[in-house]
């Protein structure tokens, strides 16, 4: 096998995937840089293959396998980075991964080879996925989450039908058989319905008999980001530290006032700062509790 220029660029993407996971494990925002580099090489290898007329069957399969590898690296990186969105929808993520493996197994059983084709839904999902990842670093977007889930369910089901049916079409709806279309639509609806009814891993924080749905920040980069750059927030953000201490909080890059509540290991309030305003000019004041706290809760001020 000759490693031509496009395939060499694809191999670079594999390296960036490994560096992405390593950076996330080290709780470094460098993982975002490596992800952006992986995205750039994903665009570049296809362009070079067409430009240099070096499109090969191996290159197409290698690119598809690498795409799946990068998705795995991203999910693992988000988990290591402590991104709450992944923890919240962990059951949905496991379900989609399991469905992907099932599709590959069924494809191999019927055709003796896995699925490598790219359909229109897969291309759309490939566009939505990086946007979803980057947005999830800051806040949860249910619209993007559902859009990606539906596109993935549609794409995997369509690939299975086309592969097993040995169709040359890129869409099930170009197939003449009405029965195939009905079965396809039914399975897609079944998969999307399963995603909807699966439980969401919600966490609640209760302060003075009032409970709030909470996002958890239990890693250094997650705690550093906090509620910065958000225009609004409903619920509570719970910061969890490894050891009790007098941890300081500031309001840099905040866009609305909040209440900051410091709690000890027994979840008892040790200090509170109410209606803390955003800081627009440095140096920003530091809000530090009067005694050690292990947990800190931020709630939008009323």
- Complete domains list, the chain, with CATH: 1-82 (no CATH), 84-201 (no CATH), 203-300 (2.60.120.1140)
Torsion angles phi and psi, residue 252, rounded to 5 = -65, 140
Residue 78, burial from CB neighbour count under 10 angstroms (0-12, 13-18, 19+): buried
Q: How many Cβ atoms from other residues are within 10 Å of residue 283's Cβ? A: 8
The Cβ-side half-sphere exposure at 265, using a 13 Å CA radius, reads 5
Reported pTM: 0.81
Residue 181 token pair: 């279309």
**131-149 confidence digits (pLDDT tens):** 999 888 888 889 999 999 9
Angle CA 230–231–237, to nearest 5: 45
CA atoms of 130 and 71, how far apart (whole Å): 10
Q: What do you get for the CA distance between the two ends of the chain, in Å?
A: 65
Angle CA 148–150–151, to nearest 5: 65
Instruction: Give me the tens of pLDDT residue by residue for the chain, a chain 302 residues long.
Output: 567 888 899 999 999 999 999 998 888 889 899 999 999 999 898 888 888 888 888 888 888 889 889 999 998 998 888 788 888 899 999 999 999 999 989 988 888 877 777 788 988 998 999 999 988 888 888 999 999 999 999 999 998 888 877 776 778 888 888 888 899 999 999 999 999 999 988 888 888 888 888 988 888 888 888 898 888 898 899 999 999 999 999 999 999 999 999 999 998 999 999 999 999 988 999 999 999 999 999 999 98
* Contact indicator for 127, 75 with CB cutoff of 8 Å: no
Identify the CA nearest to 92 among candidates 199, 190, 189: 199
Quick one: DSSP state of residue 276?
Answer: E
């Amino acid at each position: 096998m000759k490693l031509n220029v496009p395939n060499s660029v694809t191999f670079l993407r594999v390296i960036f995937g490994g560096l992405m996971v390593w950076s996330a494990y080290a709780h470094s925002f460098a993982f975002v840089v490596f992800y952006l580099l992986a995205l750039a090489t994903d665009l570049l290898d296809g362009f070079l293959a067409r430009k240099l007329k070096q499109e090969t069957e191996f290159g197409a399969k290698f690119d598809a396998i690498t795409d799946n590898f990068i998705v795995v690296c991203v999910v693992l990186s988000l988990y290591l980075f402590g991104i709450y969105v992944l923890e919240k929808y962990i059951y949905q993520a496991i379900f989609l991964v399991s469905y992907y493996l099932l599709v590959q197994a069924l494809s191999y059983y019927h055709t003796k080879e896995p699925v490598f084709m790219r359909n229109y839904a897969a291309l759309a999902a490939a566009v939505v996925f990086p946007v979803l990842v980057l947005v999830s670093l800051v806040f949860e977007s249910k619209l993007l989450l559902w859009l990606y889930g539906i596109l993935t369910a549609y794409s995997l089901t369509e690939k299975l039908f086309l592969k097993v049916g040995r169709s040359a079409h890129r869409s099930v709806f170009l197939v003449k058989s009405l029965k195939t279309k009905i079965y396809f639509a039914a399975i897609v609806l079944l998969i999307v319905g399963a995603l909807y009814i699966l439980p969401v891993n919600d966490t609640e924080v209760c302060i003075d008999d009032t409970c709030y749905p909470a996002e958890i920040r239990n890693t250094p980069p997650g705690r550093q980001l906090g509620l910065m750059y958000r225009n609004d927030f409903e619920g509570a953000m719970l910061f969890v530290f490894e050891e009790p201490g007098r941890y300081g909080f500031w309001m840099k890059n905040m866009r609305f006032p909040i209440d900051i509540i410091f709690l000890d290991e027994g979840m008892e309030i040790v200090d509170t700062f109410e209606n803390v305003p955003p800081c627009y000019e440095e140096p920003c004041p530091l809000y530090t509790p009067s005694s050690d706290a292990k947990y800190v809760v931020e709630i939008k001020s009323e």
